[in-house]
Structure 1
Amino acid sequence: MALLLTVFFVLLLISVPVFVALGGASLAYTHFIGNLPDFVVLHRMVGGVDSFPLIAVPFFILAGNLMNSAGITNRIYDFATAAVGWLRGGLGHVNVAGSVIFAGMSGTAVADAGGLGTIEIKAMRDHGYPVEFAVGITAASSTIGPIIPPSLPMVIFGVMANVSIGQLFAAGFIPGLMMALCMMIYVTWYAHRHSIGRDARFRWGVLGRSFVRAVPALMTPVIIIGGMGTGAFTPTEGAIAACAWALFLGFVVYRTLSLRRFYQISLNTIETTASVLVIVAAASLFGWVLTVTQVTAQFTALLLTITDDPLMLLLIINIIILIVGCFMETIAAISILVPIFMPSVLAVGIDPVQFGVVMVLNLMIGLITPPVGMVLFVLSRVANLSIERTVKAAFPFLVPLLFVLVLISAIPGLTLYLPTLWYR
């Protein structure tokens, strides 16, 4: 156990890629301590990605890339502006509303920040908003992406924890809308405090025209969520349906995609998918070694000696995940932490679906906290702002996110109502 954990943390500290640290530590154990044949490593890694639900990973990534490249984000932004731009602090509300709509298409926070974020920050700058406020609300609203389905992190959690991905998707609706509501309340407060007015007049005609232009794009979450909710297809098949619809919009409806552009999108998708799956494969091996060495059993026993109260245990786990999320990429963190925490969670009766949403929201907060917040780095480049100023801009928006995290941790019904209604 000492060899396993020492090699893992040393490799992380010297900035070795996470999958190498996971695989290297596991190989050190199997070769030097476990006296197991080296082919066991390959067998366990291949077994880790030999899962039907993981087929959804490349398709959700491809769907998000296609949405960003097919002119869909502009239509979503125009519709959001017509719908909520008339409120005080209008473009701040537009930012949040646009992210809620885009969340039903992309499934990742980085895609939201890089796609809609470019449009939103430029528009807010042009309307005289402080650039820090524009960057902060864009960073915070992008975290809604993996909470409202579809969600790439929830797919990974479902595979690692053997939990229904459909139920995880259903569980994200209410928390995602709560996040949006809390952020819009914060925007309203900020607008009143800094005397920010409205950015658009409410006109039924403008709203109607923007809605008609956006209808094909808005059909994407309807197809995905409606299909899964009615049982027409599984989450994996929903990802394929999202790609087919995005291709139809890009090539036929909007005609904004070319074969050359589609080729580049496909290459980017392959690269991102490979990086995700190699982490999952290495983490599956690492999780197996943790089980063999009784690390998970001993950690569970340790936590249960501290408390067997579900709420208190969830509080402790929340703190640990928040800290880990500051230093580790989302997919890697899920792949590593799920095997460690799931025995404790199940032992005290916490529903794994609730825990999945809590973990994903925790790690989304990590995306806008230093030193490894990927959304911060994306928006720093988009806004041409130093990383220090970007971090400072995002800091106030941690308050509404942490507030929602506390609520869904303390009140299981917020996450379990829809899964119970639809699936149980």
Structure 2
Amino acid sequence: MLFSFFSGLAALLSIGVPIFVALILAVFIGFEIQGSTSPMLVIQRMFSGIDSFPLMAIPLFIFAGNIMTQGGLSERILNLAKLLVGTMRGGLSMTAVSGSMFFGAISGSSPATVVSMGKLLLPSMQKEGYSKSFSVGLLMASGALGIIIPPSIFMIVYGAIAGVSIGALFMAGIGAGLVYGGVLLAYCYYRACKENLPSQPLPPAKEIFAAFKKASWGLAIPVIILGGIYGGIFTPTESAAIAVIYAAIVGLFIYKEISLKDLWHQAIDSAIVATQVMIILAAASAFSWFLTTAGLSQQIAQSLQLISDNPIMLLLVINILILVAGMFLDPNSIIIIIVPILIGIAQAAGIDPIHLGVILCVNAAIGMFTPPFGMNLFVASSLDKVSYADAIKGSLPLVALALIALVIVNAFPAISLWLPSVLL
């Protein structure tokens, strides 16, 4: 039954059925075959699955990110990144990575990072001689940093499901994000040296300071969020509300690039995006509940327990499982469906739940640009003169590169656990 059930779900996804529809349809069909549960309980489970205080942070962080995107922060961050790394060999490609790291620390969203950086950098990269496939692939892979570097919506969902400190997860994500970004930066430099691309003279310190000063109001957001959480001033959910207020003040009165009317439009757009995220979470919650009540979760758990005595083999299986799931499902659905099955087994095998969360996060980030249904593939294909085929062609080499970062994060738990252990 386990194989046939997931084969049916894969078939629904492969013919283009929306993720939340496929999940709910699979649940209804499964219960109809069993004939043991009222369909109304499925609806109730969907609502109870998103009735969570930590999940309230999701629409607020989306709103804050949208305000800062329209408020002129993208250009200021990009200008700072260009001055910091743009003069090195392969500087423009390195700017794409470092700019995505900065912007991901503010938006918490991978698609938003791809769109913002892509619109600003893709034309320049092609004009400078970078191939379209490499440019698009790098922007998609860099944009995936949005769910690794805090604040991360993915980590909020994982923390709520697994009962793990979201603040500790945010700290753990810093190390993993730096490793992932460092691998991409090293590849950009290697490629530039291989193609003998020239470097540029360093800009004056005065110019760098001026660019940092202009971008500092936006870059202060992650400092305020993380400092407030770690200082015990407010919870992660409350920090999201603080981020919205701060972003609105910066956009309206400091950068002065948005109006109250723009703020209203951003609120509407954020509500639409948040609704899309929450309905997937609700459907995934009902799907996870069905797996448990139908006994499928136990079958999966029993299979994994056969190798739970060997943490290395268990981690290998978990990584493969999440990578495959990431080809078809969005990261938040993966968390709600799989974490309840994995968390107990992983802890029994001696795997720290914070380290596990970071591993799942990096896996999910890679899934964002892995064919055939990685979300960043579709986001990138919405950019000017970029087709879905271009996106797939560009993604494959970067997927292989991102797997190197994944291996490093798996092999060295201290990358994830050192900062939380020191600060907490």
Q: Which bracket does the TM-score occupy, shorter chain normalised?
A: over 0.9
Alpha-carbon offset, residue 51 of structure 1: 0.5
Map 1:152-301 → 2, pairs under 5 A? 152-199=153-200, 201-301=202-302
Aligned partners of 2:115 and 2:380 also within 8 Å: yes
- Change over 3 Å in CA distance of 1:82–1:329 after alignment to 2: same
- 1:79 aligned residue: 80
- 1:319 aligned residue: 320
Distance 2:5 2:323 in 1: 23
Distance 2:29 2:378 in 1: 34
Distance 2:373 2:14 in 1: 13
- Change over 3 Å in CA distance of 1:237–1:385 after alignment to 2: same
Map 1:121-160 → 2, pairs under 5 A? 121-160=122-161
Distance 1:350 1:266 in 2: 40
Alpha-carbon offset, residue 308 of structure 1: 2.2
- 2:390 aligned residue: 389
- 1:404 aligned residue: 405
Distance 1:235 1:272 in 2: 20
Distance 1:309 1:333 in 2: 24
Aligned partners of 2:359 and 2:410 also within 8 Å: yes
3-state SS in 2 of match to 1:144: helix
Distance 1:43 1:200 in 2: 62
- 1:109 aligned residue: 110
Aligned partners of 1:82 and 1:200 also within 8 Å: no
Aligned partners of 2:308 and 2:345 also within 8 Å: no
Distance 1:116 1:339 in 2: 35
Aligned partners of 1:88 and 1:191 also within 8 Å: yes
User: What amino acid is aligned across from residue 56 of structure 1 in structure 2?
Assistant: A
User: What amino acid is aligned across from residue 333 of structure 2 in structure 1?
Assistant: A
User: What amino acid is aligned across from residue 212 of structure 1 in structure 2?
Assistant: K
Deviations 1:82-103 (A, max 9, x none): 1111211111221111111112
Alpha-carbon offset, residue 149 of structure 1: 0.2
Map 1:28-47 → 2, pairs under 5 A? 28-33=29-34, 35-47=36-48
Give the paired residue count: 423
Distance 1:165 1:302 in 2: 29
User: What amino acid is aligned across from residue 123 of structure 2 in structure 1?
Assistant: K
Unaligned residue ranges in structure 1 (runs of 5+): none
- 1:93 aligned residue: 94
Aligned partners of 1:106 and 1:112 also within 8 Å: yes
- Change over 3 Å in CA distance of 1:9–1:326 after alignment to 2: closer
- Change over 3 Å in CA distance of 1:320–1:229 after alignment to 2: same
- 2:21 aligned residue: 20
* TM-score normalised by structure 1 residue count: 0.94
Give me the CA root mean square deviation.
2.0
- 1:330 aligned residue: 331
- 1:347 aligned residue: 348
3-state SS in 2 of match to 1:202: coil
Deviations 1:245-289 (A, max 9, x none): 111111111111123322221121111111111111122122122
- 2:62 aligned residue: 61
Identity %: 38
- Change over 3 Å in CA distance of 1:366–1:98 after alignment to 2: same
